[in-house]
A and B are shown apart, each in its own frame.
Chain A
Amino acid sequence: MLPASLDEAVSAMAESPGAVPVAGGTDLMGAVNAGLLRPMALLGLGRVTELRGWQYQDGAALLGAGLTHARMARPDFAALIPALAEAAATVGPPQVRNVGTLGGNIVSAHPAGDTLPVLAALEATVTLVGPEGGREVAVSHLLTGLDPLRSGELLAYVRVPLLHAPQVFLKAGGRTGPSRAVASVSLVLDPARRAVRCAVGAVAPVPLRPLEAEQWVAGCIDWDGERTVDPGVAQAFGEYVASACVPDAGTEGGAARTDAAPTAARLRRTVSVLARRALGRALK
């Protein structure tokens, strides 16, 4: 099935509830080839052109779910939502970026999905369109399963507030070539609300928000002046974020593996370095 518009796609989904929508297919086809998934039908979203661009709406950007990572990584988009562009540029090799989409990244909800911490930090919402019309759901609610995708619904748009302030995305993969994130940190400044919002990806099934650390560091920033902080504050913020997001080894059940403690310590260190660098770059 190859619908040419969102309406056609939604009605096609309603007609065959077993169909699996496919956009870039970078995750889905891997699972099919590995024999993990045998969809009854595929609903190709490649021709739904209205989902492949973006528009402005009430101080926010309404991004089509079919935006590819390669498109988001281009300079015009980077001027709009820098952190999302940075995240998109680090996704996989170019072949994956050319076809992989924003919507697919959200729906796959892989713990190491690169755009997810950015969307969590930006407090983005998604528009889900089903037979009964559309509804708005916070990305974090969708990811945590608080408000899951219902049968017959398609992820159509992602609404991202435009903050007109520095925002960064940092990813550690442990190598120079493309890799799955070991940890990633997205940090955005919201000068209007005098807030810092930060999300840590890849360390848990969903991006984590260290709310207390955010509040604390927002209080340390001189919002009216140069917007700088003491290096010691950045260091402390990094450790605050890391201890909030990476649990101590051994706290979860007694069957902790013997190598869990050094692994947790390394991950905590990585997150701490990323958060410190993220704050440093945002306030530069």
Chain B
Amino acid sequence: MTTPSDSTDTTGNPGSGETTLTNLATVREGAPGSATGAALGGLLTATATAPAPASTPGTEAAAAIRAQRSGIGVSALREDAPTKAMGVYPYAADLWAEGLLWGALARSPYAHARIVSVDTRPALALPGVYAVLTADDLPPGPDGTPNGAPTGPYLADRPILAAGVVRHHGEPFAAVAADHPDTARLAAASILVEWEPLPALTDPDQAFQAPPLHPDGNVFRQLPIRFGDPEVVGEVVVEGMYQVGRQDPAPIGAEAGLAVPRPDGGVELHVATTDPHNDRDRIASCLGIEPDRVRLVVSGIPGATSDRDDLGFQATLALLAARTGHPVKMVLTREESFLTHPHRHPALLRYRHHADAEGRLVKVEAQILLDGGAYADVSSEVLARAAAMSAGPYVVPHVFVDAWAVRTNNPPSGRMRGEGALQTCFAYESQLDRLAAALDLSPLELRRRNVMTTGDLLPTGQAVTCPAPVRELLDAVAEEPLPPLPVDQPDAEWLLPEGPGCAGDPAAVRRGIGYAVGMVPMLGIEGADEVATASVRVTGSQASVICAAVDPGTGFATLAKQIVQEILGVEDVYIAPVDTDQPAAGPSARGRQTWVAGGAIERAALMVRQQLLQPLAARFAMSPELLSIKDGRITSYDGVLGMPVLEALEGKDLWATAQCRPHPTEPLDPETGQGDAFVGLGFCALRAVVDVDIDLGTVRVVEVTAAQDVGRALNPRQIEARIEAGVTQGLGLALMEDMTVTDGHVLAPSFVGYRLPTALDAPDIRVAALIEDRDVVAPFGAKAVGAAPAVVAPAAIAAAVRAATGMPVTRLPIQPDDAAV
């Protein structure tokens, strides 16, 4: 492993986490030439690093904006930060209604079994039980028999209550409403079921031959990619098998919700959803009523990394309320939460990389197998993301991929930050490390020789039209000074792998440095209709935004506020809570809200601005284009005429509603995998520094340095927070997060068995550069930032462990056996 050329500068800046928060754009403390800037706390760094390759024209513009207190480019405080910090933020589990009943679900103890008979009488006989519902209470299927009202985002195959057969451990087959949560659980447990256990299909490799688990078959999708010449062979060929475990989104608050029946036979649901309108439509269809009789109100969301609740939870809750005529509240236990919501797709990947003697990639061959669990969910989409991203952000003239997503009796897989792209990033970055070793090149140099840039082709034949500053990202992380070695700082306390006061032994610790770069598609793919609608209203001194884009903790509401402040110059912006009476804004997933909903808010605000400026322009006898709004004042182009925005707004009530619909995409060809399926791509490079106890195989990540392609930093502090969150989640998958499943049974569905990174496990996360190269088609030129660091972090940490130990490291999470020498 080669260290960057400036690694002699090991003085570092341990407190840089603080400093970087205040820095706006391209910032490099301690880098050659910017010592002054670093000393002055970053205010001057933007100009001090101007000659550096990462800086762009956007930097100066951003630096000019920083003097402002609100609007775009300012590190505004998160909307929900004060209430969350004070503990008064209302989450879904805090909801209450007078006379409410408690819901509970009865779940399958088997991974695969036939339900011979269900006797609900013992449950109904319990005092306090109001209703016990099974698949028989749902609208029947087309043939008139109960089928559990199956639903799903692409294929409607997941019943909300199992009918006849259960296909994964924990699948609900009955729902209970009672006057006390304990009674409800007791009733759920007292339902008598005669099971006929069936053999569980848990090895995705066997799914092709095994008897179908579902009438739809066992293969959700097969996607080949045929790009270039299959006969080409490189001078150097490396092969590898890689395995990615089952990561759980592990929301810190388990699923919870409240359903209130409406007089018209409909139901109002208060749930922590990230996709209210689609959920409403699917719930209505499960219940067999019109969508306008179901209303979803989005309550406080305690953690979501894209999709959150599974629909079965919401639909059964609605059904219980509709049937009992009482409000029903349901709060899942941690165990149920682990069993029911979708996890990251476990993956098996086989790769063969061909390169010429200079290390230029010639051909990539890959086989990708995703374990989709029992039901389709978004497996087909995740597969397309995995296959299309399978060569990574590199120029590869020939790519041949065969990818499958299959059905098993394992826990359900679904959407989770960086879905598809993460699994392949680990594999192709591991392959590049292997190739670097085979060619005796530094991993960094090998990557530099192959990076893609704007105009290069993806394996799907699509040209990358957005900025792709991959080389700049790599250079930015490589130029950052490395953290000091403990031997150079004998007085500082050294946190060993295994943690404070435990078994770590400094003599057995090896340090490793690893690099990885990756990319992630933004927005829906393959022809998904991406659209959002937003309304902006200004009355007097206050602007309000009505937009059904859910902020699940990503900070979108804060961005919405900044957008309106920027365009209208109004400080006081109210973001309305989200419900389904508002026009749809689509799911908060795939990094789309900043672009799609942000774009809709921008357009609506611009329309309001036009309404505001038109009469003024007429009064000044100039066209409205010659007026600008800045620092709360409307000023003419020559600066002669002007008035405060608030004065211009006096007595006015301005409204505008607008839509944003990014350019359409097309499905990938089922035979060749070719097609313009993506709207845009985001890139990220990470450098991980790890300490490994080579006797015990315990890994501690010391530092992760990030450089990210952000298009434009709308709120730098929020971007830093997203990078920290993504890196920490990626670290979890790399080192500890794994749902242990044996024969389809989830063994330890708790936070003791499923280990999340704590503050001690999380490394120092430094942002080397936020590269602002505006994406001209995106609103404000901004790219989605949440997923990319999570996609790259596991690959970077694996590379660092490889460098420290010399072991191949081919699976995630990294086990002690993979890191002990």
Contact = CB atoms under 8 A, between A and B. Distances in A.
Interface in B474-515: 495-503, 505
A180 B736 CA distance: 13
28 contacts: A89-B501, A90-B500, A93-B758, A170-B502, A171-B503, A172-B502, A172-B698, A173-B498, A173-B499, A173-B502, A174-B498, A174-B696, A175-B498, A175-B736, A175-B755, A176-B496, A176-B499, A177-B757, A178-B760, A179-B755, A185-B503, A266-B815, A270-B696, A270-B816, A273-B503, A274-B503, A277-B503, A277-B505
Contact of B760 (A176, A262, A269): A176
Interface of A: 34-35, 86, 89-90, 93, 170-180, 185, 257, 262, 266, 269-270, 273-274, 277
B498 A171 contact: yes
Contacts of B816: 174, 266, 270
A225 B491 CA distance: 32
B497 A176 contact: yes
B456 interface: no
Interface string B733-774: 001100000100000000010010111110000000000000
Contacts of A170: 502-503
Contacts of A34: 333
A177 B700 CA distance: 9
A257 B758 contact: no
Nearest to B333: A34
Which of B498, B698, B817 counts the most A-chain CB atoms under 10 A from its CB?
Answer: B498
A273 B815 CA distance: 17
Nearest to B757: A177
Contacts of B695: 273
Contacts of A35: 182, 185
A49 to B, nearest CB: 28
B742 A257 contact: yes
B820 interface: yes
Query: Lowest 4 A-B CB distances belong to which pairs?
Result: A177-B758, A177-B760, A170-B503, A177-B761
A257 B498 CA distance: 28
Contacts of B503: 170-172, 185, 273-274, 277
Contacts of B742: 257
A179 B698 CA distance: 13
Interface string B173-193: 000000000100100000000
Contacts of A173: 498-499, 502
Contact of A171 (B502, B700, B815): B502
B710 to A, nearest CB: 30
A263 to B, nearest CB: 10
Given A172-B503, A273-B503, 16 more contacts: A170-B502, A171-B502, A172-B498, A174-B498, A174-B698, A174-B736, A175-B499, A175-B698, A176-B499, A176-B761, A177-B499, A177-B757, A177-B760, A270-B696, A270-B816, A277-B503
Which of A176, A185, A266, A274 counts the most B-chain CB atoms under 10 A from its CB?
Answer: A176
B655 to A, nearest CB: 49
Given A174-B816, A257-B742, A90 B501 contact: yes
A266 B817 CA distance: 7
A273 B755 CA distance: 23
B81 to A, nearest CB: 23
A86 B501 contact: yes
Contacts of B498: 171-176
A171 B503 CA distance: 5
